[in-house]
Amino acid sequence: MPFVRAVTKATGQVLLTTGCGCEPFSASARSISISPRQVMSDASFHSVSFSEADHPKVLITGGLGQLGVGLAKLLRKRFGKNNVILSDIRKPPNHVYHSGPFMYSDVLDYKNLREIVVNNRITWIVHYSALLSAVGEANVTLARDVNITGLHNVLDVAAEHGVRLFIPSTIGAFGPTSPRDSTPDLCIQRPRTIYGVSKVHAELMGEYYHHRYGLDFRCLRYPGIISADSQPGGGTTDYAVQMFHDAVKTGKFVCNLKPDTRLPMMFIDDCLRATLEVMDIPAEMLTMRTYNINAMSFSPEELACEVQKHMPDLQITYDIDPVRQAIADSWPKKFEDNNARKDWGWKHEYNLPELVQAMLNFISLDSRAANAN
Ligand SMILES: NC(=O)c1ccc[n+]([C@@H]2O[C@H](COP(=O)([O-])OP(=O)(O)OC[C@H]3O[C@@H](n4cnc5c(N)ncnc54)[C@H](O)[C@@H]3O)[C@@H](O)[C@H]2O)c1
Ligand SMILES: C[C@@H](O)[C@H](N)C(=O)O
């Protein structure tokens, strides 16, 4: 829906409504532009001429990380193989390259992003590119570039071409001054990592573009995600994935967080389903644009205990990484997600016992297959 503009004579102010049901707001006439960048005159918001019945055409940025390949698989099942483009700056492995469209895309290259969106008539972007919490602390400049400059490029391209945009946030968007038990959607957010700071920035910029330009921005704050068939990319919650791989391979695991470090976690199938659900629902059902989603919380010792029910000989020792420990100690222990459950019916399926069973089934099967080859 186009912007409605009305210039009031008396004040020289411009009133805008965005067609999204938000309150109009005013701003100085001089400062108003129709788009975040000065785009060509043929670019207009919400101009994509797809009928409601058409499938979305999806671009996933940073798609070769822990979450992108699984999401592409889910979306391709739903929308068709050729309607979902995976992109990244890395070379895809064979099985990914042959499973559907893949393109090189560096989110720091605005023109390249715009070309992909235009040439492929993209209608949804899932923006996964990021440096996660632990690697971000090891390279703050790169994290700032990818997580903040890259975000700005994606926001602009999405706003200019009427693209629905999903950006994940994280438990890492909270900090030591946030309530750590049952952390709600709206509370103090003063994270102490560049990752967290960039994610709060993403939440605020996405919501700002929604109110200011009508961008259809949707955001879920994910807990730590546990997956069997994809490796995590340098986060604080990675220990929980590694424990399974080491347990099956060596029967031993050295944990880099203290035994009682409790964090919100989620099995990947729940995370990807939540992402599709929140992208798919009508905008009227969203009372907010950024939602917490929750499944379970556990500590290393609780996870180890559950794994040991299946593998009683598993040996766990602890060698604490002070950087990761400090990050974990500043994050929520338990997440509150009442709004997601109320507004769009979010419901997780995996608790800790089901998660452990699913991970061990997959990894054992996978290692048996590798041994047989
Ligand atoms: N995995 C989790 O536990 C978790 C939890 C909360 C939020 N998230 C968020 O979900 C998203 C995906 O997470 P993930 O675990 O798959 O991350 P990941 O680190 O595994 O993958 C990120 C991908 O981004 C790519 N990338 C880096 N620089 C890039 C650039 N300049 N241009 C394009 N791509 C670039 C990397 O090559 C990598 O494949 C991230 O935004 C992350 O913050 C993840
Ligand atoms: C929690 C999440 O954002 C990521 N897995 C990290 O630990 O950095």
Q: Whose CA is nearest to atom 11 of ligand 1?
A: 128
pLDDT at 70: 98
- Residues 85, 60 contacting (CB under 8 angstroms): yes
Residues contacting ligand 1 via CB (< 6 Å): 61-62, 64-68, 88-90, 105-108, 128-130, 132, 146, 150, 168, 170, 222, 224-225, 232-235, 237
Ligand 2 pocket, 133 CB below 6 A? yes
Nearest to 236 by CA among 318, 132, 146: 132
Instruction: Based on the residue annotation, tell me whether 195 is a catalytic residue of this protein.
Output: yes
pLDDT at 111: 98
- Ligand 2 atom with minimal separation from the 132 CA: 8
33-230+265-297+333-351 maps to CATH 3.30.930.10? no
Q: Whose CA is nearest to atom 41 of ligand 1?
A: 128
What 3-state class would DSSP assign to 86? strand
For residue 363, report the distance from its CA to the centre of ligand 2, in Å: 21
Nearest to 71 by CA among 57, 60, 83, 55: 60
pLDDT at 317: 98
pLDDT at 32: 39
Identify the active-site residue in 104, 128, 195, 208: 195
Ligand 2 pocket, 271 CB below 6 A? no
Ligand 2 pocket, 237 CB below 6 A? yes
Q: Whose CA is nearest to atom 1 of ligand 2?
A: 224
Q: Whose CA is nearest to atom 23 of ligand 1?
A: 62
pLDDT at 2: 32
Nearest to 147 by CA among 217, 220, 199: 199
Ligand 2 pocket, 236 CB below 6 A? yes
For residue 224, report the distance from its CA to the centre of ligand 2, in Å: 5
Ligand 2 pocket, 224 CB below 6 A? yes
**Residue of 131, 133, 146 to mutate, ligand 2, most atoms within 8 A of C-beta:** 133
**Structure ipTM over 0.95, yes or no:** yes
For residue 328, report the distance from its CA to the centre of ligand 2, in Å: 9
* Token code pair at residue 365: 């099967």
The full set of domain ranges for the chain reads: 33-230+265-297+333-351
Q: Whose CA is nearest to atom 9 of ligand 1?
A: 168
Q: Could you say which DSSP state residue 187 is in?
A: S
What 3-state class would DSSP assign to 126? strand
Half-sphere exposure of 60 (CA within 13 A, CB side): 29
For residue 147, report the distance from its CA to the centre of ligand 1, in Å: 9
Full DSSP string of 154-185 = HHHHHHHTT-EEE--EEGGG--TTS--SSB-S
Give the helix/strand (H/E) hosting 275. helix 268-280
pLDDT at 245: 95
pLDDT at 6: 31
pLDDT at 366: 76
- Residues 337, 222 contacting (CB under 8 angstroms): no
Query: Could you read off the pLDDT tens digit of each residue along the chain, which spans 373 residues?
Result: 333 223 232 333 333 333 333 333 333 333 334 567 755 433 444 444 444 447 999 999 999 999 999 999 999 999 999 999 999 999 999 999 999 999 999 999 999 999 999 999 999 999 999 999 999 999 999 999 999 999 999 999 999 999 999 999 999 999 999 999 999 999 999 999 999 999 999 999 999 999 999 999 999 999 999 999 988 889 999 999 999 999 999 999 999 999 999 999 999 999 999 999 999 999 999 999 999 999 999 999 999 999 999 999 999 999 999 999 999 999 999 999 999 999 999 999 999 999 999 999 999 877 766 677 6
Ligand nearest to the CA of 235: 2
pLDDT at 267: 98
For residue 236, report the distance from its CA to the centre of ligand 2, in Å: 6
For residue 2, report the distance from its CA to the centre of ligand 2, in Å: 37
> Maximum distance among all alpha carbons in the chain?
80
